[in-house]
Protein backbone atom coordinates (compact mmCIF):
# COMPACT_ATOMS: atom_id res chain seq x y z
CA UNK A 1 0.00 0.00 0.00
CA UNK A 2 1.41 3.36 -1.04
CA UNK A 3 1.67 5.85 1.81
CA UNK A 4 0.55 9.36 0.94
CA UNK A 5 3.32 11.74 1.88
CA UNK A 6 2.53 15.14 3.42
CA UNK A 7 2.65 18.09 1.03
CA UNK A 8 4.89 21.03 1.91
CA UNK A 9 2.52 23.39 0.07
CA UNK A 10 -0.46 22.10 2.06
CA UNK A 11 1.45 22.47 5.31
CA UNK A 12 2.33 26.08 4.45
CA UNK A 13 -1.29 26.79 3.50
CA UNK A 14 -2.55 25.27 6.75
CA UNK A 15 -0.27 27.61 8.66
CA UNK A 16 -0.76 30.76 6.56
CA UNK A 17 -4.46 30.63 5.65
CA UNK A 18 -5.78 30.87 9.24
CA UNK A 19 -3.56 33.91 9.81
CA UNK A 20 -4.67 35.44 6.52
CA UNK A 21 -8.30 34.73 7.39
CA UNK A 22 -7.95 36.42 10.79
CA UNK A 23 -6.31 39.47 9.20
CA UNK A 24 -8.91 39.67 6.42
CA UNK A 25 -11.89 39.17 8.74
CA UNK A 26 -10.53 41.71 11.21
CA UNK A 27 -9.89 44.21 8.43
CA UNK A 28 -13.31 43.60 6.91
CA UNK A 29 -14.93 44.04 10.31
CA UNK A 30 -13.15 47.33 10.91
CA UNK A 31 -14.01 48.64 7.44
CA UNK A 32 -17.61 47.48 7.78
CA UNK A 33 -17.97 49.13 11.19
CA UNK A 34 -16.55 52.45 10.00
CA UNK A 35 -18.51 52.45 6.73
CA UNK A 36 -21.74 51.40 8.43
CA UNK A 37 -21.34 54.11 11.05
CA UNK A 38 -20.67 56.82 8.46
CA UNK A 39 -23.58 55.66 6.30
CA UNK A 40 -25.90 55.59 9.32
CA UNK A 41 -24.90 59.14 10.25
CA UNK A 42 -25.52 60.33 6.68
CA UNK A 43 -28.94 58.65 6.43
CA UNK A 44 -29.90 59.86 9.91
CA UNK A 45 -29.08 63.45 8.93
CA UNK A 46 -31.22 63.16 5.81
CA UNK A 47 -34.04 61.77 7.92
CA UNK A 48 -33.66 64.61 10.42
CA UNK A 49 -33.91 67.08 7.53
CA UNK A 50 -37.38 65.66 6.87
CA UNK A 51 -38.30 66.19 10.52
CA UNK A 52 -37.05 69.79 10.33
CA UNK A 53 -39.02 70.40 7.13
CA UNK A 54 -42.17 69.02 8.76
CA UNK A 55 -41.60 71.09 11.90
CA UNK A 56 -41.47 74.23 9.76
CA UNK A 57 -44.99 73.47 8.54
CA UNK A 58 -46.53 73.15 12.00
CA UNK A 59 -48.88 75.97 13.01
CA UNK A 60 -50.84 76.76 16.19
CA UNK A 61 -54.37 78.05 16.31
CA UNK A 62 -55.52 78.87 19.78
CA UNK A 63 -54.23 76.00 21.84
CA UNK A 64 -54.27 73.49 19.00
CA UNK A 65 -51.39 72.38 16.82
CA UNK A 66 -51.91 71.41 13.21
CA UNK A 67 -49.72 70.63 10.21
CA UNK A 68 -50.14 72.73 7.10
CA UNK A 69 -48.79 70.32 4.44
CA UNK A 70 -50.38 70.24 1.01
CA UNK A 71 -50.80 66.81 -0.57
CA UNK A 72 -48.30 67.56 -3.30
CA UNK A 73 -45.74 68.72 -0.76
CA UNK A 74 -46.31 65.60 1.32
CA UNK A 75 -45.74 63.39 -1.72
CA UNK A 76 -42.53 65.20 -2.63
CA UNK A 77 -41.29 65.13 0.94
CA UNK A 78 -41.95 61.45 1.47
CA UNK A 79 -40.91 60.16 -1.94
CA UNK A 80 -38.05 57.53 -1.93
CA UNK A 81 -37.03 55.01 -4.51
CA UNK A 82 -36.13 52.30 -1.95
CA UNK A 83 -37.71 52.84 1.43
CA UNK A 84 -41.14 53.77 2.72
CA UNK A 85 -41.21 57.01 4.70
CA UNK A 86 -43.52 57.86 7.58
CA UNK A 87 -44.04 60.85 9.81
CA UNK A 88 -45.91 61.84 12.94
CA UNK A 89 -46.44 65.12 14.72
CA UNK A 90 -47.38 64.78 18.39
CA UNK A 91 -47.56 66.77 21.58
CA UNK A 92 -45.65 65.88 24.70
CA UNK A 93 -48.60 63.87 26.00
CA UNK A 94 -48.38 61.57 22.97
CA UNK A 95 -51.45 62.90 21.19
CA UNK A 96 -51.01 62.63 17.43
CA UNK A 97 -51.52 65.91 15.60
CA UNK A 98 -50.77 64.57 12.11
CA UNK A 99 -49.26 61.55 10.40
CA UNK A 100 -49.12 57.86 11.33
CA UNK A 101 -50.19 57.37 14.94
CA UNK A 102 -48.60 53.90 14.96
CA UNK A 103 -45.10 55.31 14.68
CA UNK A 104 -43.43 54.68 18.08
CA UNK A 105 -42.50 57.75 20.09
CA UNK A 106 -39.24 58.34 21.89
CA UNK A 107 -38.52 56.47 25.12
CA UNK A 108 -35.19 58.14 25.88
CA UNK A 109 -34.30 61.75 26.61
CA UNK A 110 -33.40 64.06 23.75
CA UNK A 111 -29.87 65.32 23.16
CA UNK A 112 -29.91 68.93 21.95
CA UNK A 113 -33.49 68.40 20.86
CA UNK A 114 -32.69 65.42 18.63
CA UNK A 115 -32.91 61.67 19.04
CA UNK A 116 -32.35 58.67 16.75
CA UNK A 117 -33.60 55.16 17.45
CA UNK A 118 -34.96 51.98 15.87
CA UNK A 119 -38.60 51.05 16.25
CA UNK A 120 -41.31 48.77 14.88
CA UNK A 121 -44.17 49.79 12.59
CA UNK A 122 -46.57 47.21 11.23
CA UNK A 123 -44.01 44.49 12.07
CA UNK A 124 -41.21 46.19 10.14
CA UNK A 125 -38.08 47.73 11.60
CA UNK A 126 -37.87 51.45 10.95
CA UNK A 127 -35.28 54.08 11.73
CA UNK A 128 -36.76 57.12 13.50
CA UNK A 129 -35.42 60.67 13.66
CA UNK A 130 -37.20 62.54 16.49
CA UNK A 131 -37.13 66.35 16.78
CA UNK A 132 -38.25 68.28 19.86
CA UNK A 133 -39.41 71.72 18.73
CA UNK A 134 -41.43 74.70 20.08
CA UNK A 135 -43.91 77.07 18.53
CA UNK A 136 -44.96 80.14 20.51
CA UNK A 137 -43.69 78.40 23.63
CA UNK A 138 -45.70 75.25 22.97
CA UNK A 139 -43.48 72.16 22.70
CA UNK A 140 -44.17 69.38 20.19
CA UNK A 141 -42.38 66.40 18.69
CA UNK A 142 -41.90 65.60 15.03
CA UNK A 143 -41.04 62.01 14.05
CA UNK A 144 -39.83 61.00 10.62
CA UNK A 145 -39.07 57.36 9.90
CA UNK A 146 -38.07 55.09 7.07
CA UNK A 147 -37.62 51.39 6.51
CA UNK A 148 -34.00 50.17 6.39
CA UNK A 149 -33.76 48.76 2.86
CA UNK A 150 -31.15 51.33 1.75
CA UNK A 151 -29.14 50.76 4.86
CA UNK A 152 -29.25 46.96 4.55
CA UNK A 153 -28.41 47.22 0.86
CA UNK A 154 -25.43 49.41 1.71
CA UNK A 155 -24.26 46.86 4.29
CA UNK A 156 -24.48 44.13 1.66
CA UNK A 157 -22.55 46.25 -0.81
CA UNK A 158 -19.84 46.90 1.75
CA UNK A 159 -19.55 43.20 2.62
CA UNK A 160 -19.50 42.22 -1.05
CA UNK A 161 -16.94 44.88 -1.85
CA UNK A 162 -14.71 43.48 0.91
CA UNK A 163 -15.22 39.74 0.45
CA UNK A 164 -14.80 39.53 -3.32
CA UNK A 165 -11.28 41.02 -3.51
CA UNK A 166 -10.28 39.27 -0.30
CA UNK A 167 -11.55 35.96 -1.65
CA UNK A 168 -9.57 36.57 -4.83
CA UNK A 169 -6.57 37.40 -2.64
CA UNK A 170 -6.85 34.06 -0.84
CA UNK A 171 -7.15 32.18 -4.14
CA UNK A 172 -4.13 34.06 -5.49
CA UNK A 173 -2.20 33.31 -2.28
CA UNK A 174 -2.98 29.60 -2.57
CA UNK A 175 -1.86 29.58 -6.19
CA UNK A 176 1.31 31.56 -5.46
CA UNK A 177 2.27 29.41 -2.46
CA UNK A 178 1.86 26.17 -4.41
CA UNK A 179 3.73 27.62 -7.37
CA UNK A 180 6.51 29.03 -5.16
CA UNK A 181 6.95 25.70 -3.37
CA UNK A 182 7.16 23.83 -6.68
CA UNK A 183 9.62 26.35 -8.10
CA UNK A 184 11.66 26.35 -4.90
CA UNK A 185 11.93 22.58 -4.86
CA UNK A 186 12.51 22.25 -8.59
CA UNK A 187 16.26 22.32 -7.95
CA UNK A 188 15.92 19.02 -6.07
CA UNK A 189 14.61 17.18 -9.13
CA UNK A 190 18.08 16.84 -10.72
CA UNK A 191 19.30 15.27 -7.46
CA UNK A 192 16.44 12.78 -7.55
CA UNK A 193 17.28 11.88 -11.15
CA UNK A 194 20.94 11.57 -10.15
CA UNK A 195 20.06 9.12 -7.36
CA UNK A 196 17.79 7.09 -9.67
CA UNK A 197 20.64 6.67 -12.15
CA UNK A 198 23.17 5.59 -9.54
CA UNK A 199 24.07 2.03 -8.73
CA UNK A 200 24.34 0.75 -5.17
CA UNK A 201 28.12 1.02 -5.34
CA UNK A 202 28.20 4.71 -6.30
CA UNK A 203 28.58 6.66 -3.05
CA UNK A 204 30.09 9.81 -4.52
CA UNK A 205 28.98 13.24 -3.28
CA UNK A 206 25.73 14.79 -4.50
CA UNK A 207 26.13 18.11 -6.38
CA UNK A 208 24.56 20.83 -4.20
CA UNK A 209 24.58 23.74 -6.63
CA UNK A 210 21.41 25.92 -6.50
CA UNK A 211 19.97 24.03 -3.52
CA UNK A 212 17.71 26.35 -1.44
CA UNK A 213 19.22 27.54 1.83
CA UNK A 214 16.37 26.07 3.91
CA UNK A 215 17.02 22.49 2.80
CA UNK A 216 20.75 22.77 2.10
CA UNK A 217 21.72 21.34 5.54
CA UNK A 218 19.72 18.19 4.80
CA UNK A 219 21.73 17.44 1.69
CA UNK A 220 25.03 18.28 3.34
CA UNK A 221 24.16 15.66 5.96
CA UNK A 222 23.29 13.21 3.16
CA UNK A 223 26.73 13.82 1.67
CA UNK A 224 28.32 13.31 5.09
CA UNK A 225 26.43 10.03 5.38
CA UNK A 226 27.60 8.97 1.92
CA UNK A 227 31.17 9.76 2.95
CA UNK A 228 30.85 7.65 6.10
CA UNK A 229 29.26 4.80 4.16
CA UNK A 230 32.01 4.94 1.55
CA UNK A 231 34.70 4.82 4.23
CA UNK A 232 32.90 1.98 5.98
CA UNK A 233 32.61 -0.03 2.76
CA UNK A 234 36.26 0.59 1.94
CA UNK A 235 37.22 -0.55 5.44
CA UNK A 236 35.08 -3.67 5.10
CA UNK A 237 36.56 -4.47 1.70
CA UNK A 238 40.08 -4.16 3.08
CA UNK A 239 39.08 -6.18 6.11
CA UNK A 240 37.65 -9.00 3.99
CA UNK A 241 40.69 -8.96 1.72
CA UNK A 242 43.09 -9.02 4.67
CA UNK A 243 41.08 -11.70 6.44
CA UNK A 244 41.08 -13.86 3.33
CA UNK A 245 44.83 -13.45 3.03
CA UNK A 246 45.40 -14.23 6.71
CA UNK A 247 43.20 -17.32 6.59
CA UNK A 248 44.69 -18.65 3.37
CA UNK A 249 48.14 -19.37 4.85
CA UNK A 250 47.11 -21.40 7.94
CA UNK A 251 44.45 -23.27 5.98
CA UNK A 252 46.99 -24.17 3.29
CA UNK A 253 49.44 -25.30 5.99
CA UNK A 254 46.69 -27.33 7.66
CA UNK A 255 45.84 -29.00 4.37
CA UNK A 256 49.52 -29.80 3.71
CA UNK A 257 49.94 -31.37 7.17
CA UNK A 258 46.76 -33.39 6.70
CA UNK A 259 47.99 -34.73 3.35
CA UNK A 260 51.38 -35.53 4.90
CA UNK A 261 49.67 -37.36 7.76
CA UNK A 262 47.74 -39.48 5.27
CA UNK A 263 50.96 -40.51 3.54
CA UNK A 264 53.05 -40.96 6.69
CA UNK A 265 53.46 -44.26 8.48
CA UNK A 266 53.80 -42.33 11.76
CA UNK A 267 51.44 -39.32 11.54
CA UNK A 268 51.76 -38.22 15.18
CA UNK A 269 53.98 -35.22 14.43
CA UNK A 270 51.69 -34.08 11.62
CA UNK A 271 48.64 -34.50 13.83
CA UNK A 272 50.24 -32.29 16.49
CA UNK A 273 50.85 -29.62 13.87
CA UNK A 274 47.27 -30.02 12.67
CA UNK A 275 46.02 -29.43 16.22
CA UNK A 276 48.20 -26.33 16.56
CA UNK A 277 47.06 -25.07 13.15
CA UNK A 278 43.43 -25.66 14.10
CA UNK A 279 43.92 -23.66 17.29
CA UNK A 280 45.53 -20.87 15.31
CA UNK A 281 42.63 -20.75 12.85
CA UNK A 282 40.09 -20.90 15.69
CA UNK A 283 41.82 -18.01 17.43
CA UNK A 284 41.90 -16.00 14.21
CA UNK A 285 38.21 -16.71 13.56
CA UNK A 286 37.36 -15.62 17.09
CA UNK A 287 39.30 -12.38 16.65
CA UNK A 288 37.64 -11.67 13.30
CA UNK A 289 34.20 -12.29 14.76
CA UNK A 290 34.97 -10.03 17.71
CA UNK A 291 36.03 -7.20 15.41
CA UNK A 292 32.95 -7.55 13.21
CA UNK A 293 30.70 -7.33 16.25
CA UNK A 294 32.61 -4.40 17.73
CA UNK A 295 32.53 -2.01 14.78
CA UNK A 296 28.79 -1.23 14.84
CA UNK A 297 28.60 -1.73 18.59
CA UNK A 298 27.17 1.10 20.67
CA UNK A 299 26.87 0.94 24.44
CA UNK A 300 23.23 1.84 25.03
CA UNK A 301 22.93 0.81 28.68
CA UNK A 302 26.35 1.02 30.39
CA UNK A 303 26.76 -0.75 33.71
CA UNK A 304 29.05 -0.13 36.67
CA UNK A 305 32.03 -2.45 36.18
CA UNK A 306 34.53 -3.38 38.92
CA UNK A 307 37.84 -3.53 37.02
CA UNK A 308 39.65 -5.31 39.86
CA UNK A 309 37.08 -8.12 39.95
CA UNK A 310 36.94 -8.28 36.17
CA UNK A 311 40.74 -8.68 36.06
CA UNK A 312 40.63 -11.49 38.62
CA UNK A 313 38.05 -13.28 36.47
CA UNK A 314 40.26 -12.89 33.38
CA UNK A 315 43.33 -14.13 35.30
CA UNK A 316 41.89 -17.63 35.68
CA UNK A 317 41.99 -17.98 31.90
CA UNK A 318 45.64 -16.95 31.45
CA UNK A 319 47.38 -18.45 34.48
CA UNK A 320 47.77 -21.89 32.77
CA UNK A 321 49.45 -20.30 29.73
CA UNK A 322 51.70 -18.21 32.00
CA UNK A 323 52.73 -21.33 33.93
CA UNK A 324 53.40 -23.15 30.66
CA UNK A 325 55.82 -20.38 29.64
CA UNK A 326 57.23 -19.97 33.17
CA UNK A 327 56.03 -16.36 33.23
CA UNK A 328 55.47 -14.61 36.53
CA UNK A 329 51.93 -13.24 36.02
CA UNK A 330 51.26 -10.76 38.84
CA UNK A 331 48.41 -8.43 39.78
CA UNK A 332 48.46 -5.06 41.56
CA UNK A 333 44.76 -4.23 41.82
CA UNK A 334 43.33 -1.19 43.59
CA UNK A 335 39.62 -0.32 43.75
CA UNK A 336 38.54 1.00 40.35
CA UNK A 337 35.14 1.16 38.67
CA UNK A 338 33.98 2.44 35.29
CA UNK A 339 30.70 2.65 33.41
CA UNK A 340 30.73 0.32 30.43
CA UNK A 341 29.93 -3.05 28.93
CA UNK A 342 31.36 -5.88 31.08
CA UNK A 343 31.71 -8.37 28.21
CA UNK A 344 33.74 -5.98 26.05
CA UNK A 345 35.90 -4.79 28.92
CA UNK A 346 36.73 -8.41 29.73
CA UNK A 347 37.62 -8.92 26.06
CA UNK A 348 39.93 -5.89 26.30
CA UNK A 349 41.66 -7.38 29.35
CA UNK A 350 42.01 -10.80 27.72
CA UNK A 351 43.62 -9.38 24.59
CA UNK A 352 46.12 -7.21 26.46
CA UNK A 353 47.14 -10.02 28.83
CA UNK A 354 47.35 -12.48 25.92
CA UNK A 355 49.49 -10.03 23.94
CA UNK A 356 51.86 -9.48 26.89
CA UNK A 357 52.29 -13.21 27.60
CA UNK A 358 52.95 -14.00 23.92
CA UNK A 359 55.64 -11.32 23.49
CA UNK A 360 57.36 -11.87 26.85
CA UNK A 361 60.26 -14.35 26.68
CA UNK A 362 60.02 -17.58 28.67
CA UNK A 363 60.72 -16.91 32.32
CA UNK A 364 59.72 -13.25 32.05
CA UNK A 365 57.34 -11.13 34.09
CA UNK A 366 53.88 -9.69 33.28
CA UNK A 367 52.15 -7.37 35.75
CA UNK A 368 48.53 -6.23 35.50
CA UNK A 369 47.42 -3.10 37.39
CA UNK A 370 44.27 -1.04 37.86
CA UNK A 371 43.46 1.96 40.03
CA UNK A 372 42.11 5.48 40.20
CA UNK A 373 44.10 8.71 40.18
CA UNK A 374 43.20 12.39 39.58
CA UNK A 375 39.61 11.73 38.54
CA UNK A 376 40.73 9.08 36.07
CA UNK A 377 40.56 5.31 36.15
CA UNK A 378 43.35 3.32 34.50
CA UNK A 379 43.97 -0.31 33.61
CA UNK A 380 47.44 -1.33 32.40
CA UNK A 381 49.67 -4.26 31.53
CA UNK A 382 53.47 -4.14 31.82
CA UNK A 383 55.85 -6.86 30.68
CA UNK A 384 59.57 -7.64 30.61
CA UNK A 385 59.56 -8.33 26.88
CA UNK A 386 61.53 -6.58 24.13
CA UNK A 387 59.28 -3.50 24.22
CA UNK A 388 57.70 -1.66 21.31
CA UNK A 389 59.76 0.83 19.24
CA UNK A 390 58.27 4.33 19.31
CA UNK A 391 57.90 4.37 15.52
CA UNK A 392 55.64 1.31 15.81
CA UNK A 393 53.28 2.75 18.45
CA UNK A 394 50.64 3.69 15.89
CA UNK A 395 51.07 0.82 13.47
CA UNK A 396 50.53 -1.94 16.03
CA UNK A 397 46.86 -0.90 16.20
CA UNK A 398 46.41 -1.59 12.48
CA UNK A 399 44.64 -4.80 11.59
CA UNK A 400 46.87 -7.78 10.89
CA UNK A 401 50.02 -5.76 11.56
CA UNK A 402 52.57 -7.67 13.65
CA UNK A 403 55.94 -6.72 15.04
CA UNK A 404 58.91 -8.50 13.50
CA UNK A 405 59.39 -10.81 16.47
CA UNK A 406 60.33 -14.31 15.43
CA UNK A 407 58.73 -17.22 17.16
CA UNK A 408 55.69 -15.29 18.40
CA UNK A 409 52.38 -16.76 17.29
CA UNK A 410 49.45 -14.41 16.61
CA UNK A 411 47.20 -12.90 13.99
CA UNK A 412 47.64 -9.15 14.49
CA UNK A 413 44.07 -8.44 15.65
CA UNK A 414 44.41 -8.27 19.43
CA UNK A 415 45.44 -4.62 19.74
CA UNK A 416 42.97 -3.38 17.07
CA UNK A 417 40.24 -5.04 19.15
CA UNK A 418 41.56 -3.29 22.26
CA UNK A 419 41.47 0.07 20.48
CA UNK A 420 37.89 -0.42 19.26
CA UNK A 421 36.71 -1.36 22.75
CA UNK A 422 38.55 1.56 24.34
CA UNK A 423 37.10 4.05 21.86
CA UNK A 424 33.58 2.73 22.42
CA UNK A 425 34.11 3.57 26.12
CA UNK A 426 35.61 7.01 25.36
CA UNK A 427 38.90 5.74 26.79
CA UNK A 428 42.42 6.53 25.57
CA UNK A 429 45.36 4.16 25.01
CA UNK A 430 48.99 5.00 25.61
CA UNK A 431 52.17 2.97 25.09
CA UNK A 432 55.26 3.54 27.22
CA UNK A 433 58.51 1.85 28.05
CA UNK A 434 57.98 0.20 31.42
CA UNK A 435 60.16 1.64 34.19
CA UNK A 436 59.79 -1.39 36.42
CA UNK A 437 60.15 -4.35 34.05
CA UNK A 438 61.92 -2.79 31.07
CA UNK A 439 59.44 -3.94 28.45
CA UNK A 440 56.24 -2.38 27.11
CA UNK A 441 53.55 -0.76 29.24
CA UNK A 442 50.12 -0.37 27.63
CA UNK A 443 47.70 1.77 29.61
CA UNK A 444 43.96 2.29 29.03
CA UNK A 445 42.64 5.44 30.73
CA UNK A 446 38.91 5.89 31.31
CA UNK A 447 37.39 9.36 31.84
CA UNK A 448 35.55 10.37 35.01
Q: Which sequence spans correspond to the domains of the chain?
A: 8-155, 216-291, 299-446
The CATH class of the 299-446 domain is alpha beta
State the Cα–Cα distance between residues 176 and 173, nearest whole angstrom: 5
- Strands 114-121, 96-99: pairing kind: unpaired
Q: What is the pLDDT of residue 142?
A: 92
Do residues 277 and 257 lie in contact, with contact meaning Cβ atoms separated by under 8 Å? yes
Instruction: Express each pLDDT in 65-82 by its tens digit.
Output: 888 877 766 776 666 767
State the Cα–Cα distance between residues 429 and 366, nearest whole angstrom: 18
State the Cα–Cα distance between residues 161 and 5, nearest whole angstrom: 39
State the Cα–Cα distance between residues 194 and 215, nearest whole angstrom: 17
Q: What is the pLDDT of residue 94?
A: 87
Q: What is the pLDDT of residue 295?
A: 56
The CATH number given to 216-291 is: 1.10.287.130
State the Cα–Cα distance between residues 95 and 163, nearest whole angstrom: 48
State the Cα–Cα distance between residues 287 and 411, nearest whole angstrom: 8
The CATH number given to 8-155 is: 3.30.450
State the Cα–Cα distance between residues 258 and 274, nearest whole angstrom: 7
Closest CA to 191 of 211, 176, 171: 211
Show the low-confidence residues of the chain (pLDDT under 50). 1, 406
Do residues 404 and 420 lie in contact, with contact meaning Cβ atoms separated by under 8 Å? no
**What angle, 0 to 180 degrees and rounded to 10, lies between the N-to-C axes of helices 414-424 and 268-294?**
20
Q: What is the pLDDT of residue 408?
A: 59
Q: What is the pLDDT of residue 283?
A: 65
State the Cα–Cα distance between residues 38 and 61, nearest whole angstrom: 41
Q: What is the pLDDT of residue 190?
A: 80
Q: What is the pLDDT of residue 325?
A: 87
Torsions phi, psi for 20 (to 5 deg): -60, -40
Q: pTM for the whole thing? A: 0.48
Q: What is the pLDDT of residue 439?
A: 86
Instruction: Express each pLDDT in 141-184 by its tens digit.
Output: 999 999 888 888 887 787 787 778 877 888 888 888 778 777 77
Domains 8-155 and 216-291 share a fold: no
Q: What is the pLDDT of residue 76?
A: 64
Q: What is the pLDDT of residue 143?
A: 93
Distance of CA 20 to the CA centre of its chain: 26
Amino acid sequence: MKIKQPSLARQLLRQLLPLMAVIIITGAGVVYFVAHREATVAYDRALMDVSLALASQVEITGNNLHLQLPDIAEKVLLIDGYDKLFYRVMDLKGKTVAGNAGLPGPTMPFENGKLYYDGKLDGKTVRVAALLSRLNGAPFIVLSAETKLKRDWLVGEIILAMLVPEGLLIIAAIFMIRRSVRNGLASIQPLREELVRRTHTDLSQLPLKDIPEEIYPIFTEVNELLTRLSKSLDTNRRFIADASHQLRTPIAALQAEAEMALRSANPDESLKKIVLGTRRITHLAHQLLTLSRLEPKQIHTPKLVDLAQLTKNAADRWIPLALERSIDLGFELSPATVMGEPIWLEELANNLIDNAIRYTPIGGIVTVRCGRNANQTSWEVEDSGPGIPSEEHERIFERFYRLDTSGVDGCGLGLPIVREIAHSHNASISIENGNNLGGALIRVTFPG
